[in-house]
C-alpha cells in the first residue's frame, strides 16, 4: 500500500508500507519566508507545529525541491532526527552552504538531472532538474509497486520532460501548484490602484491553469492534486492581494480543470491511498475549518538605514561583480536597472523615492539620479532602503524581493528581459554565476530545430523556446503566430519577431543561416 498525507503548503509524506520508506517533501514550519513577508495558510500554533514535527520525524527521507524559503527551511530540518535528504545537484553556493551545515545531522544525496536512485526494494526516485543548469528547481518521480507519484511542486514544467516520464510510467498521482497569487510576476508589478489589476491577474490565472492542464494532458494521471500553497502576505500594503477571491480559495480553478480528469485541492491532514497502481481510498478534508483563523502580520522592518555613501559603495561592488559575469556570458542587458529607496513599506506604491540609483551593467556604471519620472527604457525596483541594501550586498536576490511583495517593480517598455533577470537572479552566487556563464558560452546559434507550417509554407524554427527552454513541438500556429504553451511568449512567424515576451528576440537569428524557409 502507498499513502500520501498532506500537511499544508508543499509538504507531503509519501509512505510505501511494504518497505517502510517514507519521503517528506519541502517541510516549511519555522515562520515567515521571503523577507519575512510570506505566511503559510493556515498559520500553525506552536503546539500544532510540534505535532506535525513528530509525525514528519518518522520519515526516512526528505525531498527538497528547491532553495526558496517556503520549501527549504533549515531551522525546521535541524529539529529532525537523522534523515537522507534528496536534492538536485544544483550549482548554487548559498544553497549548498546551508546543506553542508545540515550534513552534521542528515545525509545529503545530490542527484543529477534524470538520475534514478533506489531507495528500497521496488521503491525508486528519479529527479529532473529545471533546465538550463543554472536554474535551482526540480521535480521528483517516485515509483513503487502500488503507484507512481510525480511531485512537481511549483517547478517550471517542461513538456519534453513530461512526455519522457509518460512514455515510461503511468503516473498515478500528479502534484502541482495553482498558486498564481504568489507568482513572482505580476504581484510585485501590480499596484493596488492599477485600473488593469483584474485583467492582469486574470491573465496570470489563465496561464497557471494552462500549465496545469497541459501537464494533465501529457501525463494522463489517475488523480491530479493542487497543492503548494496558499500563502498570505504579512503587510497591510498587500491587503489587495490577501483579499483577492482566489488568494486562499482555489475551488473554482479546480472545478475548471475537472474536464481533463479528477483534480482535488486537499486541506491539511487529508490523505490518499493507492494499491497496485490504482486509487483505493481517500480522505479529502475541506478548507472551511481553517478560514476563520486570524490573519498574521509581519514584524515591521527594523534597523538603521544605510547612508548614501554606504549605498553607493555597495552598488559599485555589486555592479563590478555582476558586470563581470555579464561580460563573460558574451551578452548585453541593453536597459538600465533603477533602484529607488523609500523609508517605509507604506511608501512603495508612491513614485516619490528618497533616492534613486541608476545601474548600467553593460558599461559598469552606477550613479544617483534625480530623474522622476524615469525615461524609458528601464527596470525600476522601488523598495525600502534596507531591502535594497540587502540586495546590493548579496544577502538576498531578485527572487526574494519579487516574491516578498515588499517592493514594487516598473518597467518600460513592458517586456521581459531574460538576460537582466538571469543576471540578477543568479549572477551574485559564485556557482550559479559560473553555470550561467558556461551555459551562455555553449548556447549555439544553430541548435536543434523543427519545421512548422505557416499558411502552407514550411518554416524552420528553434525546437525550444528561447525564454526557458519549453519545447515548441506542440505549439499551435494561428494566423502566422506561434504561442509557447508554457509562458505564452508569442512569435510572428512571418518575421520571427517575439511580439509578447522579450521583443529583442527573433527566432530566425537562432537557427542556422537565419533562413525563413526550408
CB atoms closer than 10 angstroms to residue 246: 16
C-alpha cell at 162: 513530461
Q: In which residue ranges of the chain is CATH 2.102.10.10 found?
A: 449-514
Q: Which helix (H) or strand (E) holds 418?
A: helix 418-426
Give the three-class secondary structure for 232. strand
Locate 113 and state its grid cell: 538531472
Kindly give the pairing relationship between strand 12-16 and strand 2-6. antiparallel
With CA atoms as reference, report the closest residue to 438 among 273, 325, 320, 289.
325
Specify the DSSP element, H or E, that contains 441. Answer: helix 430-442
With vertex at residue 254, the alpha carbon angle to CA 250 and CA 255, rounded to the nearest 5 degrees, is: 120
Range list for CATH 3.30.1050.10 in the chain: 308-441
- For the chain, 518 residues long, the average pLDDT of each consecutive 10-residue run is 96 96 98 94 95 98 97 98 98 97 98 96 95 90 97 89 94 97 80 87 89 94 96 93 94 97 97 95 93 88 90 98 96 95 93 94 96 91 96 94 94 86 95 93 65 87 81 85 85 91 82 51
> Would you call 47 helix, strand, or coil by DSSP?
helix
Q: How many CB atoms lie within 10 A of CB 409?
A: 19
CB 17 within 8 A of CB 59: no
| Cα–Cα distance measured from residue 347 to residue 300, given in angstroms and rounded to the nearest whole number | 14
**Contacts from 121-129 at CB under 8 Å and sequence distance 24+?**
121/18, 121/19, 122/16, 122/18, 122/19, 123/16, 123/19, 123/21, 125/23, 125/63, 125/86, 127/86, 127/88, 128/161, 128/165, 129/88, 129/89, 129/90
Q: What is the CA radius of gyration of the chain?
A: 23
Please, where in the chain does CATH 3.60.15.10 lie? 2-290
Q: Residue 79 corresponds to which cell in the numbers above?
A: 529539529
Pairing between β-strand 378-384 and β-strand 337-342 as defined by DSSP bridges: parallel
| CATH number belonging to the domain at 308-441, selected among 3.50.50.60, 3.30.420.60, 3.30.360.10, 3.30.1050.10 | 3.30.1050.10
3-state class (DSSP) for residue 56:
helix
352: CB partners within 8 A, 6+ apart: 342, 372
Is the pTM higher than 0.85? The answer reads: yes
What interhelical angle do 308-329 and 385-392 show, nearest 10?
40
Between CA 343 and CA 355 the distance in angstroms is 10
* pLDDT, position 515: 45
**Contact (Cβ atoms closer than 8 angstroms) between residue 23 and residue 38:** no
- The beta-strand segments (E) located in 66-213 are 84-88, 107-111, 116-120, 123-129, 138-144, 147-151, 173-177
How many separate helices (H) and strands (E) can be counted in the chain?
13, 28
Q: Chain-centre distance of CA 389, in angstroms?
A: 24
CATH superfamily, domain at 2-290: Ribonuclease Z/Hydroxyacylglutathione hydrolase-like (3.60.15.10)
pLDDT for 459 equals: 87
At 413 the pLDDT is 86
Which segments of 130-195 are extended strands (E)? Answer: 138-144, 147-151, 173-177
CB 413 within 8 A of CB 500: no
Query: Phi and psi at residue 359, in whole multiples of 5°?
Result: -120, 125
b/e sequence 378-407, b meaning 16+ C-beta within 10 Å: bbbbbbbbbbbbbbbbbebbbbbbbbbbbb
| C-alpha to C-alpha distance for 91 and 256, rounded to whole angstroms | 38
Strand partners, 451: 460
Residue 186: in which H helix or E strand, if any?
Answer: helix 184-187
- Calpha distance 1→144 (Å, rounded): 9
Sheet of strand 498-500, all strands in order from the earlier edge strand to the far edge: 477-478, 481-483, 490-492, 498-500
CATH number, span 449-514:
2.102.10.10
Question: Cα(191)–Cα(214) distance, rounded to whole angstroms?
Answer: 30
Task: Measure the CA–CA gap between 6 and 226, rounded to whole angstroms.
Answer: 11
- For residue 186, cis peptide bond before it (omega within 30 degrees of 0): yes
Amino acid at each position: 500500500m502507498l499513502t500520501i498525507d498532506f500537511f499544508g503548503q508543499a509538504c507531503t509524506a509519501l509512505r510505501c508500507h511494504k518497505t517502510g520508506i517514507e519521503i517528506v517533501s519541502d517541510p516549511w514550519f519555522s515562520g515567515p519566508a521571503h523577507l519575512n513577508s510570506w505566511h503559510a495558510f493556515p498559520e500553525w500554533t506552536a503546539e500544532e507545529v510540534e505535532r506535525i514535527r513528530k509525525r514528519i520525524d518518522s520519515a526516512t527521507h526528505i525531498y527538497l525541491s528547491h532553495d526558496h524559503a517556503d520549501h527549504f527551511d533549515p531551522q525546521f530540518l535541524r529539529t529532525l532526527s537523522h534523515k537522507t535528504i534528496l536534492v538536485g545537484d544544483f550549482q548554487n553556493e548559498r544553497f549548498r552552504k546551508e546543506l553542508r551545515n545540515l550534513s552534521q545531522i542528515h545525509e545529503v544525496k545530490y542527484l543529477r538531472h534524470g538520475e534514478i536512485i533506489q531507495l528500497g526494494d521496488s521503491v525508486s526516485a528519479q529527479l529532473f532538474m529545471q533546465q538550463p543548469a543554472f536554474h535551482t528547481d526540480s521535480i521528483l518521480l517516485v515509483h513503487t509497486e502500488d503507484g507512481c507519484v510525480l511531485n512537481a511542486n511549483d517547478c517550471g514544467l517542461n513538456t519534453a520532460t513530461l512526455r519522457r516520464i509518460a512514455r515510461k510510467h503511468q503516473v498515478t498521482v500528479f502534484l502541482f501548484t495553482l498558486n498564481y497569487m504568489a507568482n513572482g510576476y505580476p504581484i510585485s508589478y501590480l499596484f493596488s490602484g492599477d485600473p488593469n489589476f483584474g485583467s492582469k491577474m486574470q491573465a496570470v490565472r489563465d496561464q497557471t491553469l494552462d500549465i496545469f492542464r497541459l501537464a494533465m494532458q501529457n501525463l494522463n494521471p489517475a488523480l491530479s492534486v493542487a497543492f503548494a500553497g496558499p500563502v498570505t502576505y504579512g503587510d497591510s500594503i498587500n491587503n489587495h492581494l490577501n483579499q483577492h477571491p482566489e488568494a486562499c480559495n482555489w475551488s473554482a480553478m479546480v472545478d475548471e480543470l475537472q474536464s481533463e480528469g479528477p483534480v482535488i485541492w486537499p486541506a491539511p491532514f487529508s490523505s490518499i491511498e493507492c494499491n497496485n497502481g490504482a486509487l483505493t481510498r481517500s480522505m479529502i478534508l475541506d478548507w472551511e475549518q481553517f478560514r476563520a483563523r486570524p490573519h498574521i502580520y509581519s514584524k515591521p522592518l527594523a534597523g538603521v538605514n544605510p547612508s548614501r555613501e554606504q549605498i553607493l559603495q555597495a552598488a559599485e561592488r555589486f555592479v563590478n561583480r555582476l558586470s563581470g559575469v555579464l561580460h563573460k556570458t558574451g551578452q548585453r542587458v541593453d536597459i538600465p536597472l533603477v533602484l529607488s529607496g523609500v523609508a517605509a513599506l507604506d511608501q512603495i506604491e508612491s513614485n516619490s523615492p528618497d533616492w534613486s540609483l541608476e545601474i548600467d551593467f553593460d558599461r559598469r556604471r552606477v550613479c544617483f539620479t534625480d530623474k522622476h519620472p524615469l525615461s524609458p527604457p528601464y527596470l525600476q525596483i522601488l523598495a525600502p532602503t534596507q531591502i535594497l541594501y540587502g540586495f546590493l550586498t548579496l544577502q538576498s536576490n531578485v527572487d526574494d524581493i519579487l516574491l516578498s511583495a515588499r517592493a514594487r517593480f516598473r518597467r518600460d517598455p513592458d517586456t521581459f528581459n531574460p538576460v537582466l533577470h538571469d543576471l540578477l537572479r543568479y549572477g551574485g552566487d559564485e556557482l550559479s554565476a559560473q553555470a550561467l556563464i558556461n551555459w551562455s558560452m555553449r548556447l549555439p546559434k544553430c541548435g536543434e530545430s523543427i519545421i512548422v507550417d505557416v499558411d502552407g509554407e514550411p518554416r524552420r524554427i528553434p525546437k525550444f523556446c528561447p525564454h526557458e527552454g519549453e519545447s515548441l513541438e506542440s505549439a499551435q500556429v494561428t494566423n502566422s503566430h506561434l504561442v509557447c504553451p508554457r509562458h505564452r511568449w508569442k512569435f510572428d512567424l512571418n518575421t520571427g519577431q517575439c511580439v509578447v515576451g522579450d521583443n529583442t528576440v527573433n527566432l530566425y537569428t537562432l537557427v542556422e543561416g537565419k533562413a525563413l524557409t526550408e
